[in-house]
């Protein structure tokens, strides 16, 4: 089984989160600041160098003012 960080679904999740960040008018720095995290946190998951655990995913969605369930529904459509 392929590691989940390198799957098409993981790439789709990264794309959804990046698009959501941009749609919110946020830079990586701005999102990281909202989360109380380092910019590298956002940069690394957007580039696929790390994957988010479920708690981090919920935190990112919250910082983007999005319902995590909506993001998961979008992810599962593809």
pLDDT band at 77 (very low <50, low <70, confident <90, very high): confident
Q: Per the structure, how many domains does the chain have?
A: 1
pLDDT tens per residue, range 8-29:
889 999 999 999 999 999 999 9
pLDDT tens per residue, range 26-57:
999 999 999 999 999 999 999 999 999 999 99
Three-state DSSP string of the chain: CCCHHHCHHHHHHHHHHHHHHHHCCCCHHHHHHHHCCCHHHHHHHHHCCCCCCHHHHHHHHHHCCCCHHHHHHHHHHC
Res 4: pLDDT:
66
CATH number for position 23: 1.10.260.40
Which residues form the domain of 63? 4-77
């Amino acid at each position: 089984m392929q590691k989940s960080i390198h799957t098409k679904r993981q790439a789709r999740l990264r794309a959804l989160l990046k698009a959501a960040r941009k749609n919110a008018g946020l830079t990586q720095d701005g999102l990281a600041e909202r989360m109380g995290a380092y910019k590298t946190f956002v940069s690394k998951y957007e580039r696929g160098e790390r994957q988010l655990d479920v708690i981090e995913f919920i935190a990112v969605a919250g910082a983007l003012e999005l319902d995590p369930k909506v993001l998961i529904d979008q992810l599962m459509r593809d």
